[in-house]
Every structure is written in C-alpha cells, then in structure tokens.
A and B are shown apart, each in its own frame.
Chain A
Amino acid sequence: MIKAVLIFNQLGKPRLIKFYEQIGTAAQQEILREIHSLVAKRPDTQCNFLEGTRSIGGAGARIVYRHYATLYFVFVADQSESDLGMLDLIQLFVEALDRSFENVCELDLIFHFDEIHHILSEVVSAGMVIETSLAEIGSAVDEAKRLAKPDSDHSRLGLHSLRRGFVQ
C-alpha cells in the first residue's frame, strides 16, 4: 500500500502533501522535513530508494523518489508494492501531469494545487494504484474538468485576468 505522496522543491517547500493515513498537520510537516533532508543530499547518480525510518511508516516502508528539474516526487510505500513498480508509477504520474498541463513545471503545481490532487486521485485512491493507463487517467481528468467548468468561471477568471490586470 502507498502511505503517502509528497511533492516538494529543492528547498523543501511543499507542492503537494497527500497522506493515505490520517496524520496530524504537525506530524505531516515533520515527515516532509525529514524526507526532504534525506533526499536532497543525494546526487542523482544514486539510487532512488531509501529505507523508511521510525517516523516514516516504520522499518518496512520504503521511500521511492524521483527528481525532476526543481521538484522531488516522493512515494512512501510498504513492502506490498514493488520498488521498481513505484518508480514507474512516479513517471506515470508526472506524465499524466504533463499531459494535463502541457509541459508541466513547478509554477503549474503551485497555482493548480487542487488540480494536482484530482489527477493524483485518478492514479492512486485510498493508497492503492487504481489506474496505470495514461489515456484512462487523461479522460477521467478531462471529464471531471468539464463537469466542474460551468461553475468555476470565477476562479479561472481569477488567475488569468489577474495576470493581465483585469481584476483588481
């Protein structure tokens, strides 16, 4: 089972925090800090696996991460998930993001923080992988977008018009 999905940048600023177990806010931040400190000091030539520590999922857990440009994508999983499978899953997730945002970058993740959650929820639900086909993920995300659209004019106007200075 996947215990958590974290995205943070090189400085440790969170871009997405998703725990599939209920954990207090302070504990979440603590885990984020700890994983960042472990991951950020590893050069990209080293392997993408770290053993879990006491605070992160116990000794059986494994931290699987990938480093993309300015961001780290981290999946914390227990032993019932395949290590190499988790690596592939991170790649799949990032490709799904890329598909949704067209050349996704850190700013997309910052400003569409809820959208990232929705895309993730089409890949992993309740800690289990539910979809591994990019096409399926994409169509589910699009369908939800269409449903949400008529009512979200306001918020969409928000970002783009603000950039152009239309809205005060």
Chain B
Amino acid sequence: MFEKTLSDLIQGLRANKRNEAEYIQRSLEEIQREVQQSDMRCKSAAVDKLNYLHMLGYDMNWASFNVVEVMASPRFGEKRTGYLAAAQSFNQETDVLMLVTNLIRKDLAAPSAMEVGLALDGLAQTATAELAADLFDDVLAVLGHPRACVRKKAVVCLYRLVQRHPEGLPALVPQLKERLDDPDPSVVSAAVGVVCELARTDPRSYLPLAPKLYHLLTTLTNNWILIKIVNLFAALAPIEPRLARKLHGPLSRLVTTTSAMSLLYECIHTAVVGDVIGVPLPVPDAIGRETDFAELCAQKLEVFYQSRDHNLRYVGLVTLARLQARRPDLVAGQYATVLACLDDPDLSIRMRAIEVVAAMTTRKTLVGTVNHIVAQLARSSTVALHPAGPAALMAAGSAPAAAEGDLPQTDAHGTSLVSAQGAIAAPKRDCADPADSPEYRLAAVEAIAGMCSRESYGNMVDFEWYVATLADLVYVAGVDVDRLLSERLLDVTVRVRQVRRFSVAVARRLLADARLAGRAAADGANAATLATAAYILGEYCPLLPAEPDDATLLLLPPGLASLSDDQQAVFVQAAAKAYTNWLRDVAGDWSADAWEAVRSVTASIQRTLAQIFFPDGAAGTSGDAVARLAAGLPLQAGCRLRQLAEIIKTVSVATSNLGDAAPPVCAELHALFTMYELNPVSAAAQGKVPVPEGLDLDAPIGDPIPDTSHKVLPPPPPPPPPAAAAQLHQRGSRHDRGSGDRAAHRARENDPFYLGGAAHGAARELPDVDDIPVMALDLGDKPRSSGGGGGGSKKAKKAKKKHRRDRPRTPSPPPPAVDIAGDEDVPEAPPA
C-alpha cells in the first residue's frame, strides 16, 4: 500500500546523499519483498526501481524471473518496464530466457504495433542462440507488417538474430533486398544499415546488392541514407575494382553539389578509400571546367583540416592520412599545415596529425620534424629524468575532483539543454597538455622510429644525430618504449658501419648514467636499452681507445643481479669482450706498470663479480669459486659467468710473474670474440636452411646414457631454432656450443670407457651437425671461397659473409658515403 515509486526512490537517493549506500541497501530489501507480491502494479514498480539501481551499478540478475513476470503483464506500460529491465540486465546465461519464447512470440503477433516493436527491441537485445533459432521465422513474418515503425525494427532485429543464428542468413538476404525498396525511407535506412554491417564482415557475399545500392545512391536525397550507402561502398569498392568506375559519376556529383559537410566528408572518404580518385575521368566543376577528381577531393579536404571547427579538422586528418598513402604528391604541399596540427591542444587531433606527419616526412624535413617532436616530449612535465627539468605546471589530470555529491546546488533546474549547447556551465579544470598523455608519447616515439628507419634509412642524412636522438628519447620518452628504443639503437649500429664509433660513445654515456642504472635495477625501466648499450660497447669497443673502466664499472654495475637472466648474460659477455680488448691493448705496450694494471683490474673484476652475484661473501674471489657458484645461477648468466671466470683464471695464471714480454694469452684472448663479424640476419633465414638428407632433427642424438658415473656427459640436446632477433646475442653461445660439441666428440672418441654406440652415433650425428651450414649455404652461381681442409668450414663461412656484405642490399638509394647493411638471407634451396 505504501510502496515507494521510482520517483520516491530517486527523491530518497537525493535526500540521502551522505548515507546513500545504506539507503540503497534498505531499498533493495524492500524491492526484494515487493517483487514477490502478486499485485502486478507493485511488482512492476519494483522492477522499475531495480532497473534504476542497476544503472548505478547494482546487480539485478537475482530478479530475472520477476522481470519475466512483468514482461507478461497485459498492460502496455508494465510490459514495457519488463522488456526494458530484461534488455538492460539479461545475458546469455540468464536461464529464465527459456521461459520467454512463447511470450515473445505472442507479443510479436500482438495487434498493437507498439507492442510488436517492444518485443522486437527486447528480442534483439536479449536473444540467445536458442531464442534466435526459435523466433527467427516469427520475426521474418513481421517484416511484412503494415506499419513502417514495426518493419524497421524487424529489420534490425533480424540482423541481431542471424548473429546468434547464422543458419538464418540465406533466408534473410532476399528479404533485406526487398526492404531496400520499401516505400518508407526509415525502413530503407535500417536495411542499408544492416547490409552495411553484414558486408563489413563478408563484403564479397553482398556485392550482388551493389546495383541496388547504386540505384539508391543516384535516386535518394535523404542525407542520412546517402551517408550510410556511401560508407558501405567504402567497404565494397576495394574488393570489386569495377565499382570505382561506376561510383565516379555519383560521388563526384555529390562532392561538387552537396552542402552537407557530413555527406561531403563521407564521399571524399569513400572516393579515397575505394580508389575512385584513381579513375582517369574528368569532373566538370561548378563553372564547367574539367578537373581531376583526385585534385578536387584534395582541395575539398583542405576545407576540413584547415577548418577552425575541431571536428572537421579531426575527420579531415583521418582522411588525409588515407589520401597520403594513395597520392603523396597531392598532400606534400600541406606539410606545414599538418605540422602545425602537431601543436594543437587537442589530443585527438594530434594523434591523427602525427600519423600523417610520419608518413609525409622527406629527407629535407626529417630532422626538423623529429627535433620538433622531441622538443615537445622534453617540455612536458611528465619527464622524470630530464637533465634540466623545468618546473612545469602540474598536469591538470591530477587536480582533485570537484566536491563530492550529486549535482551542484545551482543545478540545471531550468536550463534547457538544447539552448545551452556548448555553453560551459561549470568552470573547467585546466586543460591537460596533450604532450603529457602517454598515448601521445607512445605514438610520438613510434612515429619517430618509423620515419627515421623507413625504407632502410632512406630519409636519413645524419646517422650520429639519429643515434643521439634515440639516446635522448631514452630520457624523455616518459612511456615504456624500452624495447623499441633498444631495437632501433641496435639496428642502426649494426647496419651502419660508420656510426658505430659514435654509438659506442653513446653507449658509454648511457651506461655511465647512474640514474638510468638505478631505474633499471629498481623496476626494469630502461633495462633493455642498457643491455643493448652494453652489447654495443662490448662488441664495438675496439673502435675507441680501450678503457679498463668499461669492464669493471660500466659493464658490471652493482645493480646487475636484479636484471633478467638474458640481460645479465649480455652484460657479462660484454664485460668479457671489453676486458680482453683492454688486455690486448696493454699487451702491445708491456711494462711493469702495465703488469700492475692487469693484476689490479683482473682482481677488481673478480671482486666485482663476487660482490654482484654472491653478495653474502661465501664465495671467496678465486676464479674457481666463481665458476663453481655460477652453476647456481640462471642458465644464460651462469654460462657467461663461467666463461669470464675461466678467462680471468687464465690471465691470473699467465701474469702471476712479471716477464719481459706480455704473456701471449693477453694479446690473443680478444680474438675469441672477433673470429668473424656478425651481420643482420633475415628473420626467415633459419627456416630456409635445408635439412641435409638423412638427418632427422627430431631424433634424439645418441642413446640415453643410463649410468652417470661415467665422466662423459651425453651430448647436449639439439638447440631450439634461435629467434632471429636473439641471434646477435647468441653468437657466443653458438661458438661455445660448437667447440663444446667437438671437444665432447673428441673426448668420447678417445675415451676407452665410452661404449654406447660411440662409433656409430658420433660418426653419424656429429659431423652432420657440423656440415649443416656448409651444405646449406650453397651460393649457386656465386664463386665459393675454397677454405682448404679440415678447419675450413669456419673460414669458408667468414669469407662468404664478407662476400655477402659487399652485395648491394637495398633497392632504395642509400645516402651517400653511408653503407646500410640489409638482412643476410639464405638463398632459396634448389628444388631437390
């Protein structure tokens, strides 16, 4: 009798702002009682209230059955409440949906058009596969309803049904075609909308409808439907080239005549996307002159992206990006305009503009554009590590939200929404600088990387500037682009020989920055970049004068242990390279001082390693101890650490006494790492290496050895094919493995205790494995360097690589005086 209505509930909510949750809880308890009552009026009011609370985030699935009861009410108002609640809250798992089949069927056949519409609306929203299959034919029958307001809802409802019940599609398509001829424009519009959706997932099947749509395009005047049809042709035109020619007439006519910006825009967009602008037919303009359609579109598009209206500017840039891809010549003149959009305060516009700018950049404009963007990023207040961080304004996003509560006291009691359109009712918070937004920063860094390396550095003039820019981005990016930057840094250093010296200097600087190292150790930020810098320093350190600090300080930093296994391995490996490089350097100028230096640096590395990896001090500092404990480390790092420990041990032994000349080992150790040079390898190369006849890669190598008391270990399992990107870092491991395999092989051959099929297994398997590269890299017509005799395989490989490096690699003209290495690849295997 005294149940609350929806209005009471809302009033109550507004009166109880302080203890809203409690009030809602009380109301929910009331509702729970009310939905159980037999009085339909009460039940329906309760469902209405529940639906309101659902909007505020309260679950109402528990009342599904009551919702169905209300749906079955004979009174339209209550039925409508029920259908609305069902549409808002039911999901595919709602079990009571099994009960509604007949209810909806009955409503679909109701005499009142409104009731049918209600059922169609509700069904479209709640249909499960089962409901869709059961009621599909009923809805199909409703398509012939005398009232247009029912037919249009039936059309869109059928679209939702075939999504759950694809078997109905063949029956729907002819009916849809018929509806395209409907006398009522709304029904045609709805049918076009459905065709549009269907064609988007499967354009080919709806090409037969193109003539019909084309007819509509040329006869209708309703802009809404025209926009829809033009939009639909944007999906169809790319798969049917003949359509472009057909569309040329109507689209160019619309472009020259329409005054509706939205239709004009859609026409230009479709003309560009569907390549209608590529049709070589002239277009007569307003005063009878003939122009090229592409130029006309470009000209009309200017109105959009140069508009003061931000919405037009935004969509103009969207289409400009597409036009850029098709006709760069028409867009090239707009460089300044687009660049200006990069400084727009509107994030959406900037995001579009940066896409266009990245594609437009040429050799002349590259440096200016990139510097512009980097400066933008650097100015932002979000940069944590900027060298001279300006005390910029706080980002507005962090301003505290306005006072809690529902509406301001002076709320919109009398303000008409329509007349107040665009008016700012409440004072706005300061607008955030779009350059602070992580999305923009990410897009900006990606755009820089993209435009600099496009067409294998085709636009690049100054590589040192590029490397310096990448290093700057490490600081100012402000978003997680660690991996991207490290990849780019490595790529340019490996491919462009001339920039390596500079890259080594940059790598030293990056590694020497304690702030970066600190961040990498703390949360992994910049860790990949630092690992790449370590690799570059290790690999190319002979290009600069050797520094003993490289190995001890830069490449074995205190935070190393907190990096990932792979990164640790890269650092340790690089330290070994830098150390041996320095040794070779001092060995060339041997003296008592040099001897002292070698002793102290070697001891210092030993100490550093022990501190990093075995901080509890139990290890001692002898090389043996390090090697023993390295076994407890993750695989990669442990492996490299053992290798470095071995080198240190050798050097310690060799330099235990001061001799007249440097021990030969000092000068020669570095050659371990420079046996031959590494070049970028195509990602597909590994897959192209043909498997020699008779080799089964899946077969285990050798029989398992049950008794581990033998000194000889079973041969290592075949390695997984290395990912191309990781190959550079794996050089050491491949060498090691190669020599290890051979050593094991020899040891096994000589071992009198080795029984298990030794002759058989070793003779069959191991030489084959060694032979793979040699047999695979058949250069065909290329002259092969004859690496004479047994140890020749490595030499042959090296000679081959040198040979490949001299080949022209890239079709695009490289900048003068800079040689950009392309990917190495394996030629296609000759057909067997």
Q: Which of B292-325 contact A (CB under 8 A)?
A: 310-315, 318
Q: Which of B10, B92, B345, B401 contacts A111 (CB 8 A)?
A: B10
| Neighbouring B residues of A42 by C-beta, 8 Å | 346-347, 431
| Bound CA span A168–B318, Å | 58
In angstroms, how far is the closest chain A Cβ from the Cβ of B540? 39
Q: Which residues of B have CB within 8 Å of A44? A: 422, 424, 428
Q: Tell me if B348 and A46 are in contact (CB < 8 A).
A: yes
A70 CA to B41 CA, complexed, in Å: 34
- The one of A81, A104, A132 in contact with B186, judged by C-beta atoms closer than 8 angstroms, is A132
Size of B's binding interface in residues, CB under 8 A: 107
A164 interfacial contact with B, CB 8 Å: no
How many residues of chain A get a CB closer than 8 Å to chain B's CBs?
Answer: 84
B136 CB to closest chain A CB (Å) equals 14
B196 and A80 contacting across the interface, CB-CB below 8 Å: yes
By beta carbon, the residue of chain A nearest B151 is: A130
B125–A70 CB distance below 8 A: no
Answer whether residue B472 sits at the interface, using C-beta atoms and an 8 A cutoff. Answer: no
Among A118-151, those with CB < 8 Å from B are 118, 121-122, 125-133, 136, 140, 143-144, 147-151
Residue from B78, B149, B397, B407 in contact with A9 in the complex, judged by beta carbons closer than 8 Å = B407
Indicate if the CB atoms of A125 and B153 lie closer than 8 Å: yes
**A94 and B186 in contact (CB under 8 A), knowing A84-B315, A126-B160?**
no
B58 contacts chain A at the CB level, 8 A cutoff: yes
Per-residue interface assignment for chain A, residues 40 to 58, with 1 indicating a CB less than 8 Å from any chain B CB and 0 otherwise:
0111111111110000000
Taking a contact as CB atoms under 8 Å apart, the answer to whether A98 and B59 are in contact is no
Q: Closest CB-CB distance, A160 to chain B, in whole Å? A: 9
Would you call A69 and B114 a contact (CB within 8 A)? no
**A124 nearest CB neighbor, chain B only:** B156
With A130-B152, A143-B114: A117-B84 Cβ-Cβ less than 8 Å:
yes
Interface centre among B121, B231, B426 (most CB of A within 10 A): B121
Say if the beta carbon of B77 comes within 8 Å of chain A: yes
The 8 Å CB contact of B311, one of A28, A47, A98, A149, is A47
Q: Are A159 and B5 in contact (CB under 8 A)?
A: yes
The answer to whether the Cβ of B337 comes within 8 Å of any Cβ in the partner chain is: no
Map CB proximity to A onto B73-95 as digits: 1 under 8 Å, 0 otherwise.
00111101100100011111000
Q: How close is A69's CB to chain B, nearest CB, in angstroms? A: 4
Residues of the A chain whose Cβ atoms lie less than 8 Å from the Cβ of B261: 84
Given contacts A68-B421, A118-B80, A158-B5, contact A125 B121 (CB under 8 A): yes
B428 touches A43 (CB 8 A): yes
A107 to B153, CA, bound (A): 30
For the complex, give the distance between the alpha carbons of A125 and B118 in Å. Answer: 10
List, in ascending order, chain B residues with CB within 8 A of A46's CB: 310, 345-349, 431
Residue of B nearest to A109 (CB): B417
A interface footprint on B140-155 (CB within 8 Å = 1, 0 otherwise):
0000000001001100
Cβ contacts under 8 Å, A107 to chain B: 411-413
Q: Are A41 and B431 in contact (CB under 8 A)?
A: yes
Within 8 A of A (CB), among B1-54: 2, 5-8, 10-11, 41, 45, 48, 51-52, 54
Q: Check if B695 is an interface residue, CB within 8 A of chain A.
A: no
For A23, the closest partner residue in chain B by CB is B91
A6 to B425, CA, bound (A): 19
Partner of A113 from B55, B78, B200, B414 at Cβ < 8 Å: B55
Distance in angstroms from A136 CB to nearest chain B CB is 7
Residue of B nearest to A73 (CB): B417
Contact assessment for A104 and B417 in the assembled complex, using a CB-CB cutoff below 8 Å: yes
- Chain A 5-47 interface 0/1 with B at a Cβ cutoff of 8 Å (1 = within): 0000111011011101010111011000000000001111111
Given contacts A84-B265, A128-B159, A162-B7, contact A71 B346 (CB under 8 A): no
CB-defined contacts of A113 to chain B, threshold 8 Å? 6, 10, 52, 55
Task: Give chain B nearest CB distance to A121 CB in angstroms.
Answer: 5
Q: How far is the CA of A22 from the CA of B120 in the complex (A)?
A: 16
* Docked pose: A91 CA to B80 CA in angstroms: 26
Q: Which of B187-195, B447-455, B608-616, B662-670 contacts A (4 or more CB under 8 A)?
A: B187-195
Say whether B426 contacts A47, CB under 8 Å.
no
The complex places the Cα of A140 from the Cα of B159 at a distance, in Å, of 22
Give min CB distance, A43 to chain B, whole Å.
5
- Answer whether residue B169 sits at the interface, using C-beta atoms and an 8 A cutoff: no
User: What separation, in Å, do the CA atoms of A85 and B78 have in the docked complex?
Assistant: 34
CB interface residues, B 393-413, toward A, < 8 Å:
396-397, 401-402, 405-408, 411-413
Contact of A162 among B11, B311, B422 (CB under 8 A): B11
9 extra interchain contacts, Cβ-Cβ under 8 A, other than A25-B57, A87-B311, A114-B80? A44-B422, A68-B421, A69-B412, A70-B425, A84-B312, A131-B186, A140-B114, A150-B75, A158-B7
B residues adjacent to A (C-beta < 8 A)? 2, 5-8, 10-11, 41, 45, 48, 51-52, 54-60, 75-78, 80-81, 84, 88-92, 112-115, 117, 120-121, 124-125, 149, 152-153, 156-157, 159-160, 186, 189-190, 193-194, 196-197, 200, 224, 227-228, 231-232, 235, 261-262, 265-266, 310-315, 318, 345-349, 351, 396-397, 401-402, 405-408, 411-426, 428-429, 431-432, 439
A-B contact pairs, 16 of them (CB 8 A): A10-B426, A11-B407, A25-B57, A25-B59, A41-B431, A45-B310, A46-B345, A46-B349, A49-B315, A66-B421, A70-B408, A83-B315, A114-B84, A128-B193, A150-B75, A155-B48
- Point out residues on A near B: beta carbons under 8 Å: 1, 9-11, 13-14, 16-18, 20, 22, 24-26, 28-29, 41-51, 66-71, 80-85, 87-88, 91, 94-95, 97-98, 103-107, 110-111, 113-114, 117-118, 121-122, 125-133, 136, 140, 143-144, 147-152, 154-155, 158-159, 162, 168
Closest 4 A-B residue pairs measured CB to CB? A148-B77, A84-B262, A47-B310, A126-B124
